[in-house]
Structure 1
Amino acid sequence: MGGAAANPPASADLPGFEAQPGRVRVLLPLPLGEAYDYLLPPETAVAPGAIVEVPLGSRRVAGAVWETDPDTAKVPAHKLKRILRVCDAPPLPLPVRQFVDWVARYYLAEPGAVLKMSLPVPAALEPPAPRLAYRRAMAPETLPVRLTAARRRVLDVLADGLARPAGELASEAAVSSAVVRGLADAGALEQVPVYPHAPGTLPEALPEGPPLSDSQRQAADALVAKVQADAFAVTLLDGVTGSGKTEVYFQAVKAALAQGRQVLVLLPEIALSAQWLERFERRFGVEPAQWHSDLTQAQRRDTWRAVTRGEARVVVGARSALFLPYPALGLIVVDEEHEPAFKQEDGVPYHARDMAVVRARLGGIACVLTSATPSLESIENVRAGRYDSVHLPERHAGAALPAVEPIDMRTDRPTPIEGHGTSYIAPGLRDALAETLAAGEQAMLFLNRRGYAPLVLCRSCGHRLQCPYCTAWLVEHRLIHRLQCHHCGFAMKAPDTCPECEAADSLAACGPGVERLTEEVRALFPDARTALMASDTVTGPDSAARFVESVRRGEVDLLIGTQIVAKGHHFPGLTLVGVVDADLGLAGGDLRAGERTYQLLHQVAGRAGRAEKPGRVLLQTYGPEHPVLEALVSGDRDAFLAVEAENRKLAEMPPFTRLVALIVSSPEEDQADSLARALARTAPVREGVEVLGPAPAPLAVLRGRHRRRLLLKTRRDLAPQPLLRAWLAQIEVPNKARLYVDVDPYGFL
């Protein structure tokens, strides 16, 4: 990475180490390919990793010292600028700096762009601003003013000696702010500065957890042993839905905390993990620190400070939480490790599950991957001996796995509802819903398609309404009266006439989305209390928590949802799950289509029958003989995954080979084609290497840019990064064009 040191000497991280004043290299959190040289001010010394502020053009930018006293000088000293100041923040630990370098090399990314994820909150580098609070300054009997009932309540609240902000004090004492100010003016209260409580701080005595079953105890003991060994190890915690995997890895969390270490838990959808947060607080007595995009800037600032100072002992977050500068990380848990959400598609295209393993290796710590439907990558790593595994084969507390049955839509066809029109629920599923509701139990319908209809077309001329910036159909969202593109965000009001033939009232919604399914359910069961759970209707942790709690309290009879209903929610009263389109996701050229569909439907099915009442799952399908559907019905997951693995091996696809996607894009189609052809002409030619393409991407136009794709495939034992660097060095990318490199691609749109 230019002049930056990939592996600074370990002595640089020893207590008391200080480099001699002179030249240092500073990596800035910007899309830059190397660290820049700066001079230290006189009488100043820093250690590698120190956070410093430096001039960059006319700006002041905070970066990290990447190398002290470098051996070579690209620029004469008299031309270098001086560091402006050393920030009051702990230096980035050695494993964090090594991780930034490793991720940059592996994904062919600018190191500065990776560092940006470790230094995402510039305001956190400033000293925290205190809040003013009040505490008692004298005994009540010595007050210089008359002691009214309101004033006495204020003093009683402050009798514990703790200082409180004025608003909090007035609220606790049930008085107006004027009463507090009056006591302060009279000298009865004194103002003191208080600093925000660090998020994720735990009590000294960690509570005991609930009793575990024999299989849970064995699995927990295995994970605890890995943590206590204080060495790198990866363990796959493989357990059926409802087997208590979370409580098992909580034992490992407790063991890491007992060693004085920090813990990171990665969740695929932090905004939808209200039940996980509640469960953690119930188990450990406090909330963990959180890190995700829904936090305010102030929350991100406080959390970053708490993490860097080791005050945040447990952090739960989305994938970006992996890059925070933990000084004492002792355990990483990746919950639902198979989830596609762990793959970052924009910016640096890293996979958080894979990088969690790398971060654990660099820190010499334990990593736990959990899933009821592990990815083929993790299963192959277990088979090859790179990962250990523990298994939970049964549900906790004697609950049984639900019975899964197919509904063949070729013979059990939906019939129109009088006064409503087209139906998408087969008679068999209708009857099951009626029986479930009549028994006072809850049911759920799953359809992984947002909005009202995935396509709008003209009945007169057949014209389909398409996004003007993408090769994608516009989706009708009837709740907000808009047509939307789910790829670029374009939205418009539905036109009154066809844009092509100008026929009036000719536009028809084709196919069902969850909004249309909700409309049908309300026509079929008008007395049932229905609720819709999709990313359009449930946004953020608070909204998700309220929704989940309403279902759990029995305020919802029939839940309709997209994939977010499959994310580990526990609904004790839910006994029936109906999958409206089990074939959705099986078509197309995605190499993971079968695996991902199986994982999603298995997770959805796992919501049923998690308490004492047995569950039932009905899958509407036009192809019940498909291997994915047969595996779900038979419950033979391992046989399905074995066949899936064998097919991948025969096709020479990951995880048995390595794959890199190169996506060319340009606002000009000719330019995109020309650059793609240039890449094809200079592609590497050697044994064990194959280049596929160029070809139009499935989304050939996205956000107004024409896209072409090439795939580089190599043997598993052949690293593609050196090949890519040599290949791309021959190519000059025009100004308007872009070349995006995605190592280990997960999606293929």
Structure 2
Amino acid sequence: MNRVRCLVLNAALGPLDYKVPDGMSVEPGQVVECPLGPRAVIGIVWEAERLPGAEVPAEKLRPLRGLLPIPPLPAPLRRLIEWTADYYCAPLASVARMALSSGGALKGPATTIEYRLTGGLPERMTPQRQAALEALEGEQATIRELAGIGGVSEGVLRGLVNQGCLEPVEVDCDRPYHLARPDFAQVDLSDHQQAAAATLGAAVKAGKFAPFLLDGVTGSGKTETYFEPIAEALRMDRQVLVLLPEIALTEAFLSRFEERFGAKPVLWHSSLKSTERRRAWRAIANGTAQVVVGARSALFLPYAALGLIVVDEAHEVSFKQDDGVRYNARDVAVMRGAFEEIPVVLASATPALESLAMVESGTYAKLDLPSRFGGAAMPTIRTVNLTEHVPGRGSWLAPPLVEALEERLARGEQSLLFLNRRGYAPLTLCRNCGFRFQCPNCSAWLVEHRFSRRLACHHCGHETPPPDTCPECGEPDCLVACGPGVERIADEVAERLPDARVFVATSDTLNSPGRAAEFVTLVENGGVDVIVGTQLVTKGFHFPDLTLVGVVDADLGLEGGDLRAAERTYQQVAQVAGRAGRGSKPGEVLIQTRHPDAPVIAALAAGDRDAFYEAETEARRMAGAPPFGRWAAIIVSSEEESEARDAARRIGDARPRHDDMAIYGPAPAPLSLLRGRYRYRLLINAKRSARLQDTIREWLGALDHPAGVRVGVDIDPYSFV
């Protein structure tokens, strides 16, 4: 082969042809350095017939500069990249970039210098040096990473190096991970677990594509069940990928994994240091990383010998990426399993309707775990009608819930209050003139956070300290917090139960695996009486002494324009209810609501999941909504409102006319200003037989827009803001 076609990692460029220099051997999947003008760019050698492009005369071809010292991307991964780009209407280069997500890993073997404390003290102690010495105990990393951990400048740390308080350590970037042993510990499984594990283990041995839905009630032992096929894959020297929806869940998972297999798995998520990402990426590519536990981006890594994929909490909305390449990791995981010809396990206590439809059609096999492990009973569930049991003025907890909290505290048991709203209050206004604090970058109210003493936007991250006077009328002491967030609920609990030890569990307080591990240890050791948390606490945690769950506002998720609102509310409340009574003590769940007769609330109270799913399925069928129809969104944005509006109108005016497709809009998005960009949306509702992606590509491809306009496509959207 004296010429190759390369996919360069620039979405604005199409495939480029290059000459292969004499003495260089290349194959599809090889990562190469390509000349482009005066500079060099990274490219991936691709099968020419799969990347359409004009044939360039041989004499015009420039030679490749070199091969990067990493294994070629395997053919199944290249097919997955093609499928993802095609299905989600994304640039091929943008998807391929996710497979090469560690720049340091592409440079070959290397060592690096990290630093650790020596135990010595500096001649002159300053507050910054004192803070650094306390924060860096047990840490080893680069100076830049230690500065981030210690919250000090790099100059402070270099001063500690000069004083002999930090010492350099040369580290092999590619040092091997500890090996997991499939037979390190034996676990007693129930009959249902044993049957499911045997089916999954046989599928791993068979080495064929086989998608499974592991449908088990909360506390049924789904994790221990899928550990057995993981052990089978390890015996066969095959790699395993386990996807988790939240990095806060990883520490609890790592402990259970280490107890079973004698070593921790390899981690992959956004909080890893660059050296850790490099080491993990190279171990995955050369096959020495046995089990990888990661967020959705781990799905596109170049596994050398993948044998099993597990998607835990497979119903979770956080598996859907809402910017960049807008893909759903649950669905892409199934497709990777198909291309790799391996089994895929989707584990959930509240499966997505789309997954249940795949079971109904015979595409997925369903494995049931109908009862809790060890004889633990499911909790009793009751609704608290807020129109009858009205909380006191300025309060949010109804009397029956407060009484239940007092009973648990008296018995030395733990309680959990769930409200999916971070901060202290969702809105702050002036009681004198009515001024409301709004984000300058988004069409959203600023949320008061009393822990950090900030007014914050949960969409763009903008923060400002709360003023002493109203910015509009200048009146002092007139700012009022409206509505509850978890911090306000925690204050109410502290006021009503002054002896209770309260912990607020949100993405603000559990923002790293380490903090999540500290939280788990604190609760397991009995250091917390009442947990007040958001959706972060609805899944994955196992606290045997937690016997009461209170849902503060079950109606919150049913508000707004979310087309999956009922399903999402059911999943969240059912998951958080599943935290109660997981040990030997019986559990109780109290659901505060103003609409106890709403179908989703009634189904939760009755514990009748099947009735809810049947009703929701029928409603979706009548509306032509997923899984019986298709949705797609087109999002138009610009820093200039008129520019965004005009571009959206041009797209709307050029809409195709198809009998199997309805196109609504354009209209201002519910969140019409986001991160300084004005937004308009169109929503497409198509029959399953429609050529949805091809139609969108032809439609949008024929239009040109000003440079400041961005047009995004979201296939199977989960966000409607």
Do Structure 1 and Structure 2 share a fold, with TM-score over 0.5? yes
Equivalences for 1:442-481 in 2 at 5 Å? 442-481=414-453
Compared CA separation, residues 723 and 196, structure 1 to 2 (3 A): closer
Q: What do residues 686-741 of structure 1 show as CA deviations (whole Å, max 9, x unaligned)?
A: 22111111111110111222111111221112231111111112211211111111
The equivalent residue for 1:138 is: none
Listed one character per residue, the Cα deviations across residues 92-138 of structure 1 (whole Å, up to 9, x for unaligned) are 110011111111111111111111100011211223224799xxxxx
1:11-22 superposed matches below 5 A: 20=1, 22=2
Aligned residue among 177, 198, 222 for 2:176: 198
Matched, 1:59 2:39: yes
1:486 corresponds to 2:458: yes
- Among 413, 427, 438, which residue is 1:441 paired with? 413
User: Does the 8 A contact of 2:173 with 2:275 survive in 1?
Assistant: no
Aligned partner (choices 256, 259, 265) of residue 236 of structure 2:
259
1:96 equivalent to 2:77? Answer: yes
Distance in 1, Cα, partners of 2:621 & 2:85: 29
The superposition leaves residues 182-205 of structure 1 with CA deviations (integer Å, 9 ceiling, x where unpaired) of: xxxxxxxxx9996743236434x6
Taking the TM superposition and a 5 Å limit, the aligned residue runs for 1:347-496 are 347-416=324-393, 422-496=394-468
Supply the AA of the counterpart residue of 2:325.
Answer: V
For 1:487, what is the secondary structure of its paired residue?
A: coil
Letter of the structure 2 residue corresponding to residue 455 of structure 1: L
Determine if contact 1:343/1:746 at 8 Å carries over to the other structure: yes
SS at match of 1:31: coil
Q: Secondary structure at the match of 1:438?
A: helix
Q: 1:56 to 1:412 in 2, by over 3 A?
A: same
Following superposition, the deviation at residue 34 of structure 1 comes to: 2.8
CA contact (8 A) 2:173 2:278 kept: no
Q: 84, 90, 93: which one pairs with 1:112?
A: 93
SS of the equivalent of 2:27 reads coil
> In the alignment, which of 297, 302, 310 is matched to residue 320 of structure 1?
297
Q: 1:79 aligns with which of 44, 60, 65?
A: 60
What whole-Å deviation, never above 9, does each CA across 1:20-71 have from its counterpart, x for those lacking one?
3x11112123324532111112111111111212223343333221136999
Unmatched 5+ stretches in structure 1: 1-19, 134-164, 166-190, 417-421
Question: Residue in 2 aligned with 1:46?
Answer: 26
* Shift in alpha-carbon separation, 1:484–1:71, aligned structure 2, 3 A: closer
Offset of residue 499 of structure 1 = 2.6
Deviations 1:468-493 (A, max 9, x none): 12111110011111111111111112
Q: Secondary structure at the match of 2:487?
A: helix
1:27 pairs with one of 7, 24, 29 = 7
For residue 289 of structure 1, report the CA deviation from its aligned partner.
Answer: 0.6
Whichever residue aligns with residue 628 of structure 1, its letter is V
Structure 2 match to 1:127: 108
Task: Indicate which of 200, 204, 210 corresponds to 2:187.
Answer: 210
Alpha carbons 1:272, 1:540 under 8 Å: kept: no
- Provide closer, same or farther for how the CA distance between residues 131 and 489 of structure 1 changes in structure 2, counting only shifts above 3 A: closer
Instruction: Tell which structure's C-alpha radius of gyration is larger.
Output: 1
Q: Is the 8 A contact 1:200 1:312 kept in 2?
A: no
**Mapped partners of 2:170, 2:429: distance in 1:** 67
On the 8 A contact 2:15/2:53 being kept in 1, the answer is no
CA–CA distance in 1 between the matches of 2:698 and 2:649? 17
1:306 aligns with 2:286: no
Summarize the Cα distance change of 1:214–1:272 in structure 2 as closer, same or farther, 3 Å threshold: closer
Distance 2:104 2:191 in 1: 49
| Structure 2 residue runs without a partner (length 5+) | 115-139, 141-168
Contact 2:376 / 2:582 at 8 angstroms: preserved in 1?
yes
**Displacement of 1:502:** 2.8
Q: Which residue of 1 aligns with 2:153?
A: none
- Quote the Cα distance in structure 2 between the aligned partners of 1:544 and 1:644: 35
Question: What are the within-5 Å matches in structure 2 for residues 220-259 of structure 1?
Answer: 220-259=197-236
For the structure 1 residues 73 and 463, does the alpha-carbon distance in structure 2 shift closer, same or farther, using more than 3 Å as the test?
closer
What SS class does the counterpart of residue 526 from structure 2 fall into? Answer: coil
Q: Any conservation in 2 of the 1:451–1:478 contact (CA below 8 Å)?
A: yes
- What letter matches 1:226 in structure 2? A
Specify the SS of the correspondent of 1:674: helix
Identity %: 52
The 1:582/1:695 distance shift into structure 2, 3 A limit, reads same
* 2:105–2:278 Cα contact (<8 Å) kept: yes
Is the 2:386–2:592 Cα contact (8 Å) retained in structure 1?
yes
Task: Tell me how far apart the structure 1 counterparts of residues 429 and 52 of structure 2 sit (CA, whole Å).
Answer: 67
Structure 2: distance between partners of 1:252 and 1:726: 44
Q: For residue 713 of structure 1, give the secondary structure of its aligned residue in structure 2.
A: strand
* Partner secondary structure for residue 692 of structure 1: strand
Rate the CA distance shift 1:83–1:594 in 2: closer, same or farther, 3 A. same
Is the Cα contact below 8 Å between 1:34 and 1:111 reproduced in 2? Answer: no
Other structure's SS at 2:682 match: strand
Contact 2:423/2:449 (8 A) holds in 1: yes
Q: Give the aligned residue type for 1:398.
A: G
Cα distance in structure 1, aligned partners of 2:322 and 2:618: 28
1:677 positional shift: 1.4
* TM-score with structure 1 setting the length: 0.86
What CA deviation, in whole Å up to 9, does each residue of 1:213-251 have, x standing for no partner?
111111111211222221111110000000001111111
TM-score, normalised via structure 2 length: 0.90
Question: The residue matched to 1:423 in structure 2 has which SS?
Answer: coil
| Equivalent residues of 1:108, 1:721 under 8 A apart | yes
For residues 672-693 of structure 1, the C-alpha deviation after alignment (integer angstroms, 9 at most, x for no partner) is 2211111111111122111111
> 2: distance between equivalents of 1:722 and 1:687?
15
Q: Give yes or no for contact 1:271–1:294 (8 Å, CA) kept in 2.
A: no
CA distance in 2, matches of 1:71, 1:393: 51
Tell me the SS of whatever aligns to 1:585: helix
Supply the distance in 2 between the matched residues of 1:353 and 1:68 (Cα, whole angstroms).
30
**Whole-Å Cα distance in 2 between the matches of residues 392 and 709 of structure 1?**
41
| SS of equivalent residue, structure 1 residue 273 | helix
The structure 1 residue matched to 2:606, chosen from 592, 613, 634, is 634
Identify the match of residue 539 of structure 1 among 489, 499, 511.
511
Q: CA RMSD in A?
A: 2.0
Counting matched residue pairs gives 667
**Cα distance change, pair 740–195 in 1 and its aligned pair in 2 (3 A):** closer
Q: How big is each residue's C-alpha offset from its partner over 1:366-391, in whole Å with a ceiling of 9 and x where there is no partner? A: 11101000000001111111111010
Equivalent pair of 1:23/1:68 in contact (CA under 8 Å): no
Distance 2:183 2:27 in 1: 35
Check if 1:570 corresponds to 2:551: no
- 2:615 alignment counterpart: 643
Letter in 1 for 2:628: F
